[in-house]
């Protein structure tokens, strides 16, 4: 029997204008944005739809903006009668996944991710950290590259996204050395990422320490559908596990490829990327071209959904 997973994107998927067509076409989506504006006490909806790219790229703005658009898209998808069997989210997207699954209140999630953005930005002084994507690094060479690049500094795998894409993070010098070593080891490309901090490495420990009390003070219910978390690529069915996963993911590797393989092994063969952009759909094709990925973040995607349903 066919199973469905909803996947929620993280930072890097944002763009000016995201959510506009959903808000214009669907009252339920518009209500999500109104709720977000009230909870945050500023017009996050305006920032999403017509704000400047520079303001949208600020981490403390990016995180609640992506959450709001993802939940607006989820709300429309739910109105259309589509339900998942599993949920997962990439980094920040794990908050969206837990809101969708009924584990975390939307307004609580907005507060948490705004603070998460501030704490992550403050954890490492500007210029001291960096991230880079290593593309098509030959299998088995990553650990060697990272060990040689460290030289007393921190550099580690931040996102294990797909067989041909690994993101690394750490001290700027160590990341730069790792990029050169990766190219020497056969990587097709090593691309520096335009990010404001080195996410998902041990340099984020101060952010984890700041976020833990915020998360501990927040109520988490058991999710309506199981979540595959980032930290362990593990199936989560309780609110206690969901909270712990959000605490542990901050300095830990996002095990995305492993998570997608786990979902496929459970019989999931249909994936909806719920929110802006198509990053996760692209990664899915790299992980396993046999898996069906559909984007759902704009009003135009409703018709694509109907066409896909009619052909299945």
Residues designated as active site: 91, 200
Q: In what order do the strands lie in the sheet with 165-171?
A: 155-162, 165-171, 129-135, 189-192
204-160-265 Cα angle (round to 5)? 125
Q: Which residues contact 287 (CB under 8 A, 6 or more apart)?
A: 162, 163, 257, 260, 261
The phi, psi pair for 97, rounded to 5°, reads: -60, -40
Q: How far apart are CA 124 and CA 122, in angstroms?
A: 6
Report CA-CA distances (Å) from 56 to 51, 115, 116, 274: 7, 16, 15, 19
Q: How far apart are CA 215 and CA 207, in angstroms?
A: 12
Q: How far apart are CA 254 and CA 233, in angstroms?
A: 8
């Amino acid at each position: 029997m066919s199973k469905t997973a909803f996947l929620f994107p993280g930072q890097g998927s944002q763009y000016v204008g995201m959510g506009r067509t959903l808000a214009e076409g669907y009252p339920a989506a518009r209500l999500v944005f109104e709720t977000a504006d009230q909870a945050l006490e500023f017009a996050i909806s305006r920032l999403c739809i017509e704000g400047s790219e520079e303001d949208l790229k600020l981490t403390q703005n990016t995180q609640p903006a992506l959450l709001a658009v993802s939940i607006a898209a989820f709300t429309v998808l739910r109105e259309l009668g589509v339900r998942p069997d599993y949920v997962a989210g990439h980094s920040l997207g794990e908050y969206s996944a837990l809101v969708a699954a009924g584990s975390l209140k939307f307004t609580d999630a907005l507060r948490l991710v705004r603070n998460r953005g501030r704490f992550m930005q403050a954890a490492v002084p500007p210029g001291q950290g960096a991230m880079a994507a290593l593309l098509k690094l030959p299998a088995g060479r990553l650990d060697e590259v990272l060990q040689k690049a460290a030289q007393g500094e921190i550099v580690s795998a931040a996102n294990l996204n797909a067989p041909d894409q690994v993101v690394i993070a750490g001290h700027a010098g160590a990341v730069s050395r790792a990029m050169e070593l990766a190219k020497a080891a056969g990587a097709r490309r090593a691309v520096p990422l335009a990010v404001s901090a080195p996410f998902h490495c041990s340099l984020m420990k101060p952010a984890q320490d700041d976020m833990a009390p915020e998360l501990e003070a927040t109520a988490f219910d058991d999710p309506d559908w199981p979540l595959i978390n980032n930290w362990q690529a593990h199936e989560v069915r309780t609110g206690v596990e969901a909270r712990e996963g959000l605490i542990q993911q901050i300095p830990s590797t996002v095990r995305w490829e492993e998570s997608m393989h786990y979902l496929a092994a459970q019989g999931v063969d249909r994936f909806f990327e719920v929110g802006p952009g198509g990053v996760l759909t692209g990664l899915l094709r790299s992980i396993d071209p046999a898996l069906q990925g559909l984007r759902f973040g704009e009003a135009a995607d409703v018709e694509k959904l109907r066409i896909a349903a009619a052909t299945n």
